[in-house]
Amino acid sequence: MSTDIALNIVLLSLMAITGLAIARLRNLFPVAMLTGLYSLLSASLFTLLDAVDVALTEAAVGAGVTTVLFLATLGLTRAREKAVPRSRTAIGLVVTVLTGAALFYASLDMPHFGERHTPVQDHPLRERYLETVQEEIDVPNTVTAVLASYRGYDTLGEVTVILTAGVGVLMLLGVARNRRREDDDDQEPPR
Amino acid sequence: MREHTVLRLISKLLIAPIILFALYVQFHGDYSPGGGFQAGVTFAAAIILYTLIFGLAEARRAVSPRLLRATAALGVLIYAGTGVYAMLAGGNFLDYDFLAHDAVHGQHYGLLLVEFGVGLTVVSTITLIFYVFAGRGRRGDGARR
């Protein structure tokens, strides 16, 4: 347990340092790399918290895909951030501090880390989800069962959102420029 | 591209295990952490790594955007189709109990099919988005810088 706490402290400090470094840097290429590092650190944190599903997603999307998309975009635009006048940074600082204070205040209402009696543990639905699932669906991974079966409608909606996002990006960026290259594709059978 | 010998070698070694891991996360998702979305992004990450190392033209030849556009829609179709099939079999939309004679087996089939649909759509969409971004720069390898 104590090694867990030590690892948590190390990871959270590294995340804070990475965040500060991102805020200070002007050149956006290292910023993109550091956001990838930040995602990797939070993925490690999720693994420590036994949220391996979230860690997988964070590592693949946050550290992998998003970083590459950032870099690809920076290849097209300017990679240096414009200097912001002092007055505007002051406003930014105030907004950040206020938001941070509000979030910190809200976090006081949350149950303590590792506490026994929390809504997650005591709520009647816990039994429904964690125990009845094994009779009704009989798969060890309750998360999959809940997402795909009990919340099947939600997940269908999410998949549709992903498809819609892809269609949107293709319509905005893809069509005109791809037309020429699509002719290349035509010459060979798909797959 | 020729000069990155180490990168090319390491990536060649890594890409196949990444894809294998993605397939494991996909089809073992009922038993271990993961599922369609995680598998999809992992698979897409493998394709993106391939693109970064070998260039966009090579990647488009290996995984054609035209195919991806079809599979992106096919994933949602598989998902929704599973729901419609459950209706035809006498249940409600997405009620997997009716997919097989035994309700629990039906749930297993339902989860497997639905997660496969999710994975298919996710890997296709993310790869397509990446292709579009990478293709807007210099022709061939816009993302390599």
Mind listing the pLDDT tens digit for each residue in B100-127?
A: 888 888 888 999 999 999 999 999 999 9
- pLDDT reading at A160 higher than 70: yes
Q: What is the mean pLDDT of residues B124-134?
A: 92
Exposed / middle / buried, residue B63 (Cβ in 10 Å: 0-12, 13-18, 19+): buried
- The partner residue sitting opposite A64, judged by closest CB among B48, B111, B134, is B48
- pLDDT reading at A125 higher than 90: no
Residue B105 near residue A43 (C-beta atoms within 8 A): no
What's the confidence (pLDDT) of residue A49?
87
Asked if B111 and A166 come within 8 Å (Cβ–Cβ), the reply is: no
Asked if A148 and B52 come within 8 Å (Cβ–Cβ), the reply is: no
Q: What is the mean pLDDT of residues A149-177?
A: 87
Categorize the per-residue pLDDT at A40 as very low, low, confident or very high, splitting at 50, 70 and 90: very high
pLDDT tens per residue across span A132-143: 888 888 888 888
Distance CA B37, CA A155 (A): 10
Q: Over pLDDT 70: what percentage of chain B?
A: 92
How far does the CA of residue B1 sit from the closest CA of chain A (Å)? 17
What's the confidence (pLDDT) of residue A175?
61
Could you give all domains of chain A from N- to C-terminal order, each with its CATH number?
Answer: 1-110 (1.20.120.1200)
Which residue of chain B has the CA closest to A167? B125
What's the confidence (pLDDT) of residue B143?
43
Query: How many Cβ atoms from other residues are within 10 Å of residue A120's Cβ?
Result: 10
Which CA distances in Å does B32 have to A18, A131, A165?
A: 31, 17, 28
Average pLDDT along chain A: 85
What's the confidence (pLDDT) of residue B137?
62
Torsion of CA B25, B67, B13, A32, to 10 degrees: -80
What's the confidence (pLDDT) of residue B32?
82
ipTM of this predicted complex?
Answer: 0.86
> Of B26, B17, B42, B50, whose CA–CA distance to A65 is shortest?
B42
Which of the residue ranges A84-93, A179-188, B51-60 would you say has the lowest mean pLDDT?
A179-188
How far does the CA of residue B90 sit from the closest CA of chain A (Å)? 17
Q: Which of B111, B115, B144 to mutate to test the interface with A (most CBs of A within 10 A)?
A: B111
For residue A166, how far is the Cα from the chain centroid? 18
Q: What is the mean pLDDT of residues B3-19?
A: 91
- The partner residue sitting opposite B76, judged by closest CB among A145, A163, A174, is A163
Read out DSSP for chain B?
A: -TT-HHHHHHHHHHHHHHHHHHHHHHHTTTTSS--HHHHHHHHHHHHHHHHHHH-HHHHHHHS-HHHHHHHHHHHHHHHHHHHHHHHHTTS-TT-GGGGSSSHHHHHHHHHHHHHHHHHHHHHHHHHHHHHHHHHTSSSS-TT--
Go through A19-40 and write b for each residue having 16 or more CB atoms within 10 A of its CB, e for each that does not.
eeebeeeeebeebbebbbbbbb
Residue B133 near residue A171 (C-beta atoms within 8 A): no
Residues in chain B: 145
- pLDDT reading at A177 higher than 70: no
More confident residue, A5 or B76: B76
Q: Which of A27, A134, A159, A173 to mutate to test the interface with B (most CBs of B within 10 A)?
A: A159
Q: What is the mean pLDDT of residues A49-63?
A: 90
pLDDT tens per residue across span A9-38: 999 999 999 999 998 888 899 999 999 999
- The partner residue sitting opposite B42, judged by closest CB among A60, A165, A177, is A60
Asked if A136 and B41 come within 8 Å (Cβ–Cβ), the reply is: no
Size of interface A-B (CB pairs under 8 A): 177
